[in-house]
Structure formats: structure tokens, C-alpha cells
Amino acid sequence: MDDRPLERHRDDVLISTDRARLDLDAILAMLRDTHWAHSMEREVLERAIANSLCVGVYENGHIVAFARAVTDLATYAYLTDVVVAADRRGRGFGRWMVELILEHPDLQRLRRIALLTRDAQWLYEPFGFSVGVSGGSTYMELRRSTRDRTP
């Protein structure tokens, strides 16, 4: 992925899109506490990070929140894996990551940014995300179990 790294500070907290800063083991631990990625394998996460625009939030050099956008940097992005360490929730880190992704210069000309959420509509609605059918389009997906995937 050829995105431009961004970094910002708030007091002693850093937010960055530099993939070189990411701690995969810490991210994997956060994701394993979620309903959507509890069984993710390290190799899968490595490949996902390499092919996504990623955001990490760091306190004292340790990653405490993570999000990524699967994107072609031209027309579309899918926002996913937005996760904050349990002991750091309620401090606005999720909101800050969404804000940085939406402001990223490489994503300004996209036609659409999509996401799925089971219980965090409250996080995305203030940014203009809405529920429902858009322009006569219907959301569809093909789901495969892990046993159906070939290496």
C-alpha cells in the first residue's frame, strides 16, 4: 500500500498511520477480544495490515487503539477493525481514529466509505455515516467459512 503516513499528537498521545510503528501482537490481542476477529491468526493480520491504510494510537510508546481502511486509494474504502483496548475506552480514541481516516489526504476523492457495525452506530453517525440503502443500491456479501478458504 502506498499511502502517505500521518502523525498527530494530543498531549502525550500519538496517532499515526505509519505501519512500521504497529505492534502486531498487541493489535492481535485487542482484536481477539472482539466478536468479529476473535479467531484471527497473526499471518492474516500481517497481510491485512500490509494491504490497508492503518491507524494506531500510542500512549507511552504502546499501541492502545487500532483501525484500518481497506482501500484502493482512488474510489472506495471499507473501514474495519476499529478497536480500543478495554482499559482505554471512553477517551475518544475511536472517534480520533475515524476522524484521521476521514481526513487522510489519500482518501479525499473516494466515492464511498463503508463499514459494518453491530453496536457502534453512535460512533459513526456524527461523521455522516448512515444506515440503509443508498441510491437504489443494496448491500450484498458472500460469506465463506475458514474451512472453505484455500491457502
Q: In sequence order, what are the residues at sequence separation of 6 or more whose Cβ sits closer than 8 angstroms to the Cβ of residue 55?
A: 15, 16, 17, 65, 66, 67, 68, 97, 100, 101
CATH architecture of 7-148: 3-Layer(aba) Sandwich (3.40)
Q: What confidence tens digit (pLDDT) does each residue in 96-139 have? A: 999 999 999 999 999 999 998 988 999 999 999 988 656 667 77
Residue-level pLDDT at 148: 59
Residue-level pLDDT at 144: 77
Reported as a pLDDT band with limits 50, 70 and 90, residue 149 is low
Mean pLDDT of all residues belonging to the chain: 91
Residue-level pLDDT at 119: 87
- In this prediction, residues 41-60 reach a mean pLDDT of 97
Q: What confidence tens digit (pLDDT) does each residue in 36-49 have? A: 999 999 999 999 99
Residue 135, phi-psi category: left (phi > 0), alpha (psi -120 to 50), beta (remainder): left
